[in-house]
Structure 1
Amino acid sequence: MDTVEVIVSLLVVAIIVVSLLSNLLVLICFLYSPEIRSQVPALFILNLTFCNLLLTVCNMPLTLVGIVNKEHPGGAWSCQTAAFLDTFLTTSSMLSMAALSIDRWIAVVFPLSYHSKMRYRDALIGVAYTWLHSLSFSAVPAILSWVGYHQLYASCTLCNAKANGIRGQFVIFTAVFHSLTFLLSLVVLCVTYLKVLKVARFHCKRIDIITMQTLVLLVDIHPSVRQQCLEEQRRRRQRATRKISTFIGTFVLCFAPYVITRMVELFPTVPIDPHWGVVSKCLAYSKAACDPFVYSLLRHQYRKTCGDIINRVLKRRSFDDSSRRVKNGRKNIIQVVEEEKKLSRTHGLEVPRACRT
């Protein structure tokens, strides 16, 4: 293994650890908090979390072995199963992010009618569509034997057909697949979140006008308080832009290099560096480690739930420690009494009444 492969292998290990721990934490928060479970977006987050966990457990370790050994560790059947899961889980993750953006767009643009427009039934229909969409695009290449171990990405995924007639069909399928998954999800993300940003800036502008009018009326206000109000206005305007940029930016940064590489691969005359293929695959995997923080763990509700879980665990541990100390103390007292009894029998001494049991 050269230096690049060693660095990429360590990167995959770090992605596996972070993705596994963070997604498990999101799942624990979902199971622990009834308030989180009662929210409609939690269904999309739950679907996204399950996809990330399965991808972390089933596909990432195989890619790590492929980078180290330069071959797939299992047989043809296991490789086909891994390729099916890779396509299915990645597609479902992209569509879940698009569904979350639609949910936030409805919540911000139509706040009064949100509960009538987005119900649990509607969320279940959305999750069912993501599964059906993902199953369709992952079953077709599996049936047509367009899956296998790809040396460029060191993983089991879609493989280029060699025959000319089949190659044309494979090129069409690949173009349609990435257009209706990555490109469609990106368009939905951009349209919905830009609408959300527009509404957020409008509300920030109204709040700023009211704040400035209040500051003008308060003539005797201290300059430090006035400066704090103006600073809060600036932070409020930047907060919405930063969140929208994070949602769209992480999606493009993680998935775009891999998708572009897959499209360039359709042209045999264009050379692709083998190290770049593995790096682009690692970037796509890194989205599974970013999603828990982007969509869940950095939100106030999930932070509060994590704090409640930690406090509950610490209180139970302290209670167990105290009860264990009480039991040990009782055991020590009983041992002392028994020893005094033995001594009294040995030396013919009378045991004090306080020590009799």
Structure 2
Amino acid sequence: AGLAGLLVGTMAVSLLSNALVLLCLLHSADIRRQAPALFTLNLTCSNLLCTVVNMPLTLAGVVAQRQPAGDRLCRLAAFLDTFLATNSMLSMAALSIDRWVAVVFPLSYRAKMRLRDAALMVAYTWLHALTFPATALALSWLGFHPLYASCTLCSWRPDERLRFAVFTGAFHTLSFLLSFVVLCCTYLKVLKVARFHCKRIDVITMQTLVLLVDIHPRLVELSSTVPIGPHWGVLSKCLAYGKAASDPFVYSLLRHQYRNGCKEMLNRVLNRHPLHSPGLSGDSHSQNILPVSE
């Protein structure tokens, strides 16, 4: 019951916060004109898909204690789970690269990070993220895993244990670990230029460390004879889902432009007409630098 309640709460926060970010992106042309908007849009769409597809199936698996859907739907959900997790992590890495360029190379930021460059980076994240679930689908390594009560990567054939272990290790190294290293390297370089970014970077680093908890039971499961309880497996999955709920706050809603966008949308809903309209236009480069107060 506790894990089910945690999942329901995570789903609610994730759905509302990511939908709000999407509304801000649709509402503000000034935000959309900036290169980071593509990374934020990619991250937000990944989180929303995970919220409406994977989280409900995991909740059903936790409640029913069995596979929550047919084999085809479960394989599709497992494909999405693998793709969206990788795409989300790579989007975080892309955002960290963008902010590194904005802070370390402020005068040449617009030339180095154009919308076309951002679109190419998003295209790469999709290609990279599709590689692993496509391989797993071809090898029939997608299905329901009772340890996580989720449709995800799994293999039950003893003769494939070594190959699956190698694949899982490569998947986590080239998605989660690679993104984590990129985040650490870029933000360490940012800290050398601007110490006041430390608070926001600490939040992002801790968020990434929490996501890495999802890797631990998988690797222990493959490399050790010590059994892992379903409670720990589902809890690690809940923590991974928690990233989808916290991303909107870390990367969007706590920033000046998005706060102003939310205020402007609220004023429109309430038919208010403030004397001073919130400024969303601002300098594109300055909005990419992390504010001191955030």
Whether the TM-score (by the shorter chain) exceeds 0.5 is: yes
Aligned to 1:35: 30
CA shift digits 1:306-330 (9 cap, x unpaired):
00000011017xxxxxxxxxxxxxx
| The one of 72, 82, 94 aligned to 2:77 | 82
Residue 73 of structure 1 deviates from its aligned partner by 2.3
Between 154-163 and 169-178, the greater mean CA deviation after superposition:
154-163
Residue 71 of structure 1 deviates from its aligned partner by 1.1
Distance, in Å, in 1 between the alignment partners of 2:74 and 2:224 is 24
Correspondence 1:300 to 2:256: yes
Distance, in Å, in 1 between the alignment partners of 2:223 and 2:265 is 52
Distance, in Å, in 2 between the alignment partners of 1:132 and 1:152 is 29
CA shift digits 1:105-156 (9 cap, x unpaired):
0000001111111111110110000100111111111111111100000000
Distance, in Å, in 2 between the alignment partners of 1:45 and 1:149 is 30
Q: Counterpart of 1:145 in 2: which secondary structure?
A: coil
Aligned to 1:178: 172
| Contact 1:161/1:170, CA 8 A, preserved across alignment | no
Which TM-score applies when normalising by structure 2?
Answer: 0.91
Aligned-pair identity (%)? 61
Aligned pairs (5 A) from 1:53-132: 53-132=48-127
Correspondence 1:285 to 2:241: yes
Which TM-score applies when normalising by structure 1?
Answer: 0.75
Distance, in Å, in 1 between the alignment partners of 2:174 and 2:57 is 27
Unaligned 5+ runs, structure 1: 1-5, 202-236, 317-357
Aligned to 1:9: 4
Between 50-59 and 264-273, the greater mean CA deviation after superposition:
264-273
Distance, in Å, in 2 between the alignment partners of 1:29 and 1:304 is 9
Aligned to 2:201: 244
Aligned to 1:263: 219
Aligned to 1:45: 40
Between 192-201 and 262-271, the greater mean CA deviation after superposition:
262-271
Distance, in Å, in 1 between the alignment partners of 2:205 and 2:224 is 31
Residue 268 of structure 1 deviates from its aligned partner by 4.7
| The one of 143, 147, 152 aligned to 2:147 | 152
Distance, in Å, in 2 between the alignment partners of 1:167 and 1:127 is 33
Q: Please state which structure has a larger fraction of its residues in helix.
A: 1
Distance, in Å, in 2 between the alignment partners of 1:183 and 1:174 is 12
Greater radius of gyration (CA): 1
Aligned to 2:287: none
Distance, in Å, in 2 between the alignment partners of 1:191 and 1:305 is 31
Distance, in Å, in 2 between the alignment partners of 1:251 and 1:29 is 25
Q: Counterpart of 1:266 in 2: which secondary structure?
A: helix
Distance, in Å, in 1 between the alignment partners of 2:155 and 2:190 is 40
Aligned to 1:331: none
Distance, in Å, in 2 between the alignment partners of 1:272 and 1:259 is 13
Distance, in Å, in 2 between the alignment partners of 1:162 and 1:268 is 17
Aligned pairs (5 A) from 1:306-317: 306-315=262-271
Aligned to 2:190: 196
Runs of 4+ deviating beyond 6 Å: none
CA shift digits 1:85-111 (9 cap, x unpaired):
000001000000000000000000001
| Contact 1:15/1:289, CA 8 A, preserved across alignment | yes
Distance, in Å, in 1 between the alignment partners of 2:66 and 2:31 is 43
Structure 1 counterpart of 2:161, one-letter code: R
Structure 2 counterpart of 1:147, one-letter code: L
